Amino acid sequence: MAELERKPGRTRDADRTRQVILDAAEAVFAEQGFDGARFDAIAQASGYNRSLIGQYFGDKLGLYTEVNRRLDRDFSELQARILTPLLEDETIATDAYRLRTSLKNAMGALFDYMRDHPHPLRIFVWEQAEGWQTYVKVISQFEAGELDQLRTLLSRAQNAGLLRSDFDPLIQLVLAEQMCWSYLTSIPLYQMFHAGEDLSSQASFARAREYITDFIVHGMMVDPEEAES
């Protein structure tokens, strides 16, 4: 009985240890990329030795997989929140004004999330620079989320003549997402052009958010007058 009573505590300790290691690994992968990250650096950042990290996650690819699975779960929760209004109402795919508003709100929420979670953005930038060669090895373990439903919704909007192009609508959304994280990770570059303005201020973020969401929605959807005609 005593042994059984100790198990919940040990489970909590193990979960806490895993999270500490994952937090440290996420920061190191964001800073150095998959190829540049070293177990020694992760061990030092987490406060746990290499042997223990290996026991929990195996090799570096196993650790990287778990870091990205956790990021994917968080991102899937965000997607569920911002996409539910789009996916629950089938009529929205044929209503230009409502679809436009919903898309803009969804992209704005995505921009806010990315602004507040810089580690995933840096990991994406490293992956992009390295041709996504590591990501493709682990992506099969991520959750599919509502992608099929979203593709169906946007295909209906396409068939209704609300989208400008017949280019894959899901890729259009991925490109829109990339525009958000490209801006956010490039602020130091843009800052060189605006020495007298803090592009990391709330006001600057708000202007960028408004511009990018408008740019995306106008680029994807036909103008309201065109949709009505």
Determine the Cα–Cα distance for residues 92 and 104; give it in Å rounded to an integer. 14
Has residue 93 got a pLDDT over 50?
A: yes
Determine the Cα–Cα distance for residues 123 and 33; give it in Å rounded to an integer. 6
Determine the Cα–Cα distance for residues 89 and 216; give it in Å rounded to an integer. 22
Note the pLDDT of residue 85.
Answer: 72
Q: How far is CA 160 from CA 95, 114, 174, in A?
A: 9, 31, 21
Measure the N-to-C terminal CA separation of the chain; round to a whole number of Å. Answer: 75
Residue 221 forms beta bridges with which residues?
Answer: 163
Determine the Cα–Cα distance for residues 115 and 80; give it in Å rounded to an integer. 19
Q: Encode pLDDT of 34-91 as tens digits.
A: 999 999 999 999 999 999 999 999 999 999 999 999 998 888 888 888 877 777 787 8
Determine the Cα–Cα distance for residues 21 and 42; give it in Å rounded to an integer. 7
pTM for the full predicted model? 0.85
Q: Which two tokens stand for residue 68?
A: 């990205």
Residues 6+ apart with CB under 8 A from 197: 204
Query: Residue 196, SS3?
Result: coil
Contact in structure between 67 and 22 (CB atoms under 8 Å): yes
Note the pLDDT of residue 109.
Answer: 93
Q: Other CB atoms closer than 10 Å to residue 102's CB: what's the count?
A: 19
Query: What is the average pLDDT across 156-177?
Result: 91
Altogether, the residues listed in the chain come to a count of 229
Determine the Cα–Cα distance for residues 177 and 180; give it in Å rounded to an integer. 5
Nearest to 28 by CA among 9, 45, 53, 5: 45
Nearest to 180 by CA among 117, 129, 114, 118: 114
Confidence at 10, pLDDT banded by 50, 70, 90: low
- Indicate the CATH number for domain 72-228: 1.10.357.10
Determine the Cα–Cα distance for residues 112 and 206; give it in Å rounded to an integer. 9
Domains in the chain: boundaries: 1-58, 72-228
Determine the Cα–Cα distance for residues 193 and 30; give it in Å rounded to an integer. 26
- Indicate the CATH number for domain 1-58: 1.10.10.60
Q: Is 58 left (phi over 0), alpha (psi -120 to 50) or beta?
A: left
Q: Encode pLDDT of 109-131 as tens digits.
A: 999 999 999 999 999 999 999 99
Query: What is the average pLDDT across 136-159?
Result: 80
Note the pLDDT of residue 11.
Answer: 60
